[in-house]
Amino acid sequence: MRRVIKNIDKPLLLISILLFVIGLIFIFSASNVTAYMKYSASPYRYFMKQALFLGISFVVACFVSVFHTRVYSIFSRILLLAITASLAALLIYGTVRNKAISWIDFGFFSVQPSEFAKIVTIVYLATYYEKHRAHLDNIVTCLAPLLFPGIIAGLIFVQPDLGTMLIYASIVAFLFFIAPISKEIRRKVSFIIVSLVIVVILGFVTNGNELLQSRQLERFDFSKPCSEKKFYGSGNQVCNGYIAINHGGLLGVGLGNSTQKYLYLPEAHTDFIFAIILEEIGVVGGAFIFILYFLLIGRIVKIGRESYTDRGALICYGVAFYIFIHILINLGGILGLMPMTGVPLPFMSYGGSYAMCLVIALTFVLRVGVETRMQETRELNKRKSLRKS
């Protein structure tokens, strides 16, 4: 453990801690009114639960960081099987939230298996493609690891959780196309994917009412959310988000002084927390958080580029994309640029499952960095010993 701490990437660790602290502050600010007025609970309810989730995640991260990434292959296959089984079990025993069966309820806390599927799949595909690097000119070898992700994507879709399914599928596709696979196979798979997308779009256009639920179809109509027709329906959250952002202006109204969190924005501490952040600390404060996001993703990519294994590089690039796609889709929904899908904003949104997955994903990256530095140290010592001899 001492060697891990010595070689850990300090900039990435510090940026991550800073973002988690900022997130905790705004989770408390955005949720205290909801906790007290809506649930008659302590204003610290969500803050304390999120802090507890992060504490548990830290313990898990310490455990994960001890293992070399080469053993991740075994763990990822076992966990992928367990996640597939749990997603199937959800259809029978799952808890309904927001009209989707996405949660396993354990009483004090709930677990969302589809969140864990994202980070486990990143590790699974990264370790698989490195292990079979010499045979990635064979289309069967290249497509074989996509079987379980395909089943998982289907199970998430029937929950139904279209937003999570699309994010999961995009992560799988991203890893597939950045893996060291032959160009010929990439072209063939690209053609198949484009054909399938066209078929799916045509299916939605002709039979959308049968394939999707009415609430899902409503989300695709995201233009003019503040119109008279939509303000009290599908556009209510987005429109109140606009009000919060406009109210905050350049410098914000001050930490804790948001008005939209007074139940105008339901569950303001989850999907729409960035609207509350912009209302309280303004565009300038929001820009600072964006800079931290940029530095974080840039550092992860740097660690991936410096990795001496394809496994490490793919893990880092996958985690960077995992964080980026959540930021993109969450903010796109808040700003009305794309449909709202209930995607959490990294570090900021309340949620135990996502917080734990984010901590573990960052631990994977930190472990890759540790292994790279240890390898560099070994090579440096070897060169020194050769000079002496």
pLDDT in tens, 7-38: 899 999 999 999 999 999 999 999 988 888 87
Strands (DSSP E) found in the chain: 95-97, 100-105, 110-111
Number of folded domains in the chain? Answer: 1
Q: Do 333 and 238 touch, CB atoms closer than 8 A?
A: yes
Distances (CA, A) of 270 to 80, 215, 241, 249, 310: 27, 19, 13, 22, 35
How far is Cα 307 from Cα 89, in angstroms, rounded to an integer? 38
**High-pLDDT (> 90) share of the chain, %:** 45
* Sign (positive or negative) of CA dihedral 77, 82, 83, 84: positive
Which range is least confidently modeled, 100-109, 118-127, 330-339? 100-109
* Sign (positive or negative) of CA dihedral 102, 63, 369, 68: negative
Nearest Cα neighbor of 275 from 245, 231, 235, 247 is 245
Residues whose CB is less than 8 angstroms from the CB of residue 182 and which lie 6 or more positions away in sequence, other chains included: 136, 137, 142
pLDDT in tens, 338-365: 777 778 999 999 988 899 999 999 999 9
pLDDT at 221: 55
How far is Cα 344 from Cα 338, in angstroms, rounded to an integer? 15
List the end-to-end C-alpha distance of the chain, in Å, as a whole number: 32
Q: Do 330 and 271 touch, CB atoms closer than 8 A?
A: yes
Residues whose CB is less than 8 angstroms from the CB of residue 227 and which lie 6 or more positions away in sequence, other chains included: 235
Tell me the residue range of the domain where 81 lies. 2-388
How far is Cα 77 from Cα 306, in angstroms, rounded to an integer? 26
Query: Any bridge partners for residue 104, and if so which?
Result: 111
Predicted TM-score (pTM) of the model is 0.90
Task: pLDDT band for 103, please (50, 70, 90 cuts).
Answer: confident
